[in-house]
Amino acid sequence: MLDNFFRTQLESLAKENRLRQLPQSVHGIDFCSNDYLGLARTQQLFDDIQEKVGALQFKQNGATGSRLLSGNSNYTTDIEEKLSRIFNSESSLIFNSGYSANLAVLSSIPQRGDTIIYDELAHTCIKDGARLSLAHRHSFKHNDLADLERKLINSKGRKFIAIESIYSMDGDQCPLKEVVTLAKRYHAFIILDEAHSTGIMGTKGSGMASWLEIENQIDIRVYTFGKAMGIHGACVAGSSQLIQFLINYARPFIYTTALPPHSMVAIECAFAFLEKNIHLQKKLSHKIDLFNKYTLGLRNKMMSHTSIQSVIIPGNDNVKKAAARLQARNFDVRPILSPTVAADSERIRICLHTYNEDQHIIDLASQLIELSLSSHSAMH
């Protein structure tokens, strides 16, 4: 029976302490969610969205079909034009999620005989998209420009470099300007996932490439709205030819039902709200600086100047116990287990937010130091 197969596989995971389960709601201080700017919990944005939905008088709850059938609207294309202005691109195309956007780009654009070179710590959706492509695919060592160059030299066909602005587990930033230089030298094309920089960097929340003023040197940019923007959906930004190609060849776009009208309103309102409250970026920077100040010298802490911070606690059992200890002290943090991260790099992943009180950040830092010291003593 098929259930026997399921049971065997799940028992194997349980023996290795790798069994995933949906977590119970934790009502502690939020150091877990991707709501970096607090937009998901902002009452004013909630009210703005409801008011706009009412004003537009939508007569349907869902999109009713794919964009190429019944799911398109003038309102949707208007939002895409606004996104193009925000991201300083010729055109943009909305997707249901960042995962589907990356899957669409990587699976449809590189062709047989081309080569995709992706950072080894790139998100799973980038790797899955590359796997669906007919192109050759190779990883390069994380943020290692020398290794990237070696892979570029040995690549065949058109070369695509797939990277992220901010990496979701280590919280570090890619050396984007240097990657652009390499791409030019070897005539490669860059696919940049701005998931964790959307909202928190750049004027109007337009991400790292815009913040560095090199957005026009990036061939394909993917923006996600389910993190700092506090809503849902994503878009690809680039040339009008890129967008027309995706409309015609990207299966995750062609064969899926479009986002509902309410989601389109949420996208418009979230960016309008952030433009009026761009000071939230500075507020978040303060929280990051504060956390780094009070964790200075903390053993096994990953170096990060972003809202994603990680403390390495090797071993799935060890990191689970450490997280439970912090949760018992009212801090909502979660353990990240292997194989999500490499074995022996299991960690507590901490997300900082504009709404985290300074004292709570200081208290969490103190608890992490205490945890580190007790773990170190136990080993000796």
pLDDT 10s digits, 263-291: 999 999 999 999 999 999 999 999 999 99
Summarize the chain as % helix, strand, coil (round to 5).
45, 15, 40
- Whether 379 has a pLDDT exceeding 90, the answer reads no
Domains 26-40+279-378 and 58-276 equal at CATH topology level: no
| pLDDT value for 336 | 93
| pLDDT value for 1 | 86
- Whether 24 has a pLDDT exceeding 80, the answer reads no
CA-based max dimension of the chain: 67
Place of tokens 């096994």: 300
- Whether 8 has a pLDDT exceeding 50, the answer reads yes
| pLDDT value for 23 | 80
DSSP assignment, residue 23?
P
The gap from C-alpha 183 to its chain's centroid, in whole angstroms, comes to: 23
Mapping DSSP to helix (H, G, I), strand (E, B) and coil, where does residue 165 land?
A: coil
Query: How many angstroms separate the CA atoms of 190 and 202, rounded?
Result: 19
Q: Let me know: does 145 contact 189? Beta carbons within 8 Å.
A: no
Position 21 confidence tier, pLDDT thresholds 50, 70, 90: confident
Q: How far apart are the first and last CA of the chain?
A: 49
DSSP assignment, residue 215?
G
Residues sharing a CB contact under 8 Å with residue 104, sequence separation 6 or more, in sequence order: 95, 129, 236, 246, 250, 251, 252, 253
Long-range interactions of 376-380: CB distance < 8 A, separation 24+ = 376/299
Q: Let me know: does 48 contact 273? Beta carbons within 8 Å.
A: yes
Convert the pLDDT of each residue in 116-155 to its tens digit: 999 999 999 999 999 999 999 999 999 999 999 999 999 9
Handedness of CA 32, 33, 39, 44 (dihedral sign): negative
- Whether 59 has a pLDDT exceeding 90, the answer reads no
Mapping DSSP to helix (H, G, I), strand (E, B) and coil, where does residue 191 land?
A: strand
Domain residue extents for the chain: 26-40+279-378, 58-276
| pLDDT value for 138 | 97
Q: Are strands 188-193 and 136-140 parallel, antiparallel or unpaired?
A: unpaired
Q: Let me know: does 336 contact 349? Beta carbons within 8 Å.
A: yes
Position 26 confidence tier, pLDDT thresholds 50, 70, 90: low
Convert the pLDDT of each residue in 140-199 to its tens digit: 999 999 999 999 999 999 999 999 999 999 999 999 999 999 999 999 999 999 999 999
**Annotation: CATH topology of 58-276:** Aspartate Aminotransferase; domain 2 (3.40.640)
| pLDDT value for 297 | 85
Q: Which residue, among 76, 111, 82, has the nearest Cα to 96 in the 3D structure? A: 76
| pLDDT value for 375 | 62
Convert the pLDDT of each residue in 83-97 to its tens digit: 999 999 999 999 999
Mapping DSSP to helix (H, G, I), strand (E, B) and coil, where does residue 93 land?
A: strand
Q: Are strands 29-30 and 331-332 parallel, antiparallel or unpaired?
A: parallel
Average pLDDT over residues 222-248: 98
Q: Compute how many other C-beta atoms are within 10 angstroms of the C-beta atom of residue 18.
A: 14
Residue 268 — φ and ψ, nearest 5°? -60, -45
Query: How many angstroms separate the CA atoms of 112 and 141, rounded?
Result: 24
Q: What is the CA radius of gyration of the chain?
A: 22
**Annotation: CATH topology of 26-40+279-378:** Aspartate Aminotransferase, domain 1 (3.90.1150)
Mapping DSSP to helix (H, G, I), strand (E, B) and coil, where does residue 315 land?
A: coil
Residue 156 structure tokens: 């065949």
- Whether 378 has a pLDDT exceeding 90, the answer reads no
What mean pLDDT, rounded, does the chain reach? 95
Convert the pLDDT of each residue in 315-364 to its tens digit: 999 999 999 999 999 999 999 999 899 999 999 999 999 999 999 999 99
57 vs 108, higher pLDDT: 108
